[in-house]
Amino acid sequence: MDPFSDISTFVRAAETGNFTRAARVLRLTPSAVSKSVARLEAELGVKLFHRSPRQITLTGDGEFFYAACRQSMSGVEAARSLLSGDAQPWCGKLRLAVPVSFGQYVVAPALGAWLAAHPGLEVELVLTDRHVDMTAERFDLAVMLGEVPDSRLVARALPPHRFVTVAAPSYLRQQGVPRRPEDLSGHRCLRYVMAGSGRFRAWTYTRQRQHYRHVPLGPLASDHAAVLLALAEAGQGILQAPRYVVSAGLAAGRLVPVLDDHACTGAPLAVVYGHARQASARTRLMVEFLLSLGDQL
């Protein structure tokens, strides 16, 4: 029996979280997958999975062994790709975490064409505004806002968010147009609730080296940009959001810019992944794809 066959089966089972799904991908029976994992556990003398009727989750030993196996398999894939001279990365799955709005408005619309150009790759796209634990949560790469918490990771910079302040024409006809950031205190502002802290994100402006910070006030708030966008387009208040969130509404005339002579930038963004020498060809390809989206920020 080829020991690497059991390891490959274990890795696929860990990625899918279910013996039946792993069996479908590997074109085996669920029983064959279960027996392969059991054989590997017997050989190692440890339990790799917690099992339930519906799903499997890695044990502590399983997490450690999975990380080691994925690193080794990535190295083998990269070596085979180099020796074969094949310009296409090896097929496989990429687990990617990105901020919610960035994923919804920037990554998702471009991802279909990218996958069509790279058949054989699978992407699991997780939208979250928190900093994920790359190792514990088994992410191949992530896009992170602000300072990257782990110095062992490679971080390649994206441009910072460019924020714009917008409102529906109907709202501005009824409530007037703010000419200065100070005027916002007399308007209904649609407030964004930041993940984790629960605090409202402050609106910042810069003009001629003068900085202004506005704490938005208003009866409506949400932790999802899409909700705030819908409210803004419905004339419920003024919104400050990343340019890519409101660009379609601006182009269609559902929104118009206000205070557009004041610069607004957000936290820096970075594409984050494991050490470059350990990154697989498909990870490096995804890194370049994400960096290419920087012109939309």
More confident residue, 181 or 284: 181
State the pLDDT at residue 66: 86
Write the pLDDT tens digit of every residue in 37-74. 999 999 999 999 998 877 888 898 988 888 888 777 76
Residue 142, SS3 per DSSP? strand
pLDDT of residue 296: 86
Q: Is 146 helix (H, G, I), strand (E, B) or coil?
A: coil
Please state the domain extents for the chain: 1-85, 88-152+280-297, 163-258
Query: In what order do the strands lie in the sheet containing 269-273?
Result: 121-127, 92-98, 141-145, 269-273, 154-158
Residue 99 binned pLDDT confidence (cut-offs 50, 70, 90): very high
pLDDT of 96 higher than 60? yes
pLDDT value, residue 79 = 64
Whole-number average pLDDT of the chain: 88
User: What pLDDT sits at residue 75?
Assistant: 67
- pTM exceeds 0.95 for this model: no
pLDDT of residue 77 exceeding 70, the answer is: no
Fold match flag (1-85 vs 88-152+280-297): no
78: pLDDT strictly greater than 70: no
Q: Which of 262, 189, 263 is nearest to 232 (CA)?
A: 189
Task: For residues 228 and 223, give the distance between their C-alpha atoms in angstroms, rounded to a whole number.
Answer: 8
Which amino acid, 297? L
CATH of 163-258, one of 3.40.190.10, 3.90.1310.10, 3.40.50.300, 3.40.50.720: 3.40.190.10
Band (26; pLDDT cuts 50, 70, 90): confident
88-152+280-297 CATH pick, 3.40.50.10490, 3.30.9.10, 1.25.40.340, 3.40.190.10: 3.40.190.10
pLDDT band (50, 70, 90) for residue 233? very high
Is the pLDDT score of 278 beyond 60? no
Average pLDDT over residues 2-17: 83
Q: Residue 94 is which amino acid?
A: L
Q: How many degrees, rounded to 5, is the angle at CA 72 between CA 2 and CA 96? A: 120
Measured distance CA(254)–CA(170) in Å, rounded: 9
Contact in structure between 193 and 200 (CB atoms under 8 Å)? yes
Residue-wise pLDDT for 133-178, tens only, equals 887 788 989 999 888 877 778 899 998 889 999 999 999 999 999 9
Nearest to 90 by CA among 287, 283, 289, 291: 283
The CATH fold of domain 1-85:
Arc Repressor Mutant, subunit A (1.10.10)
Percent of the chain at pLDDT exceeding 70: 92
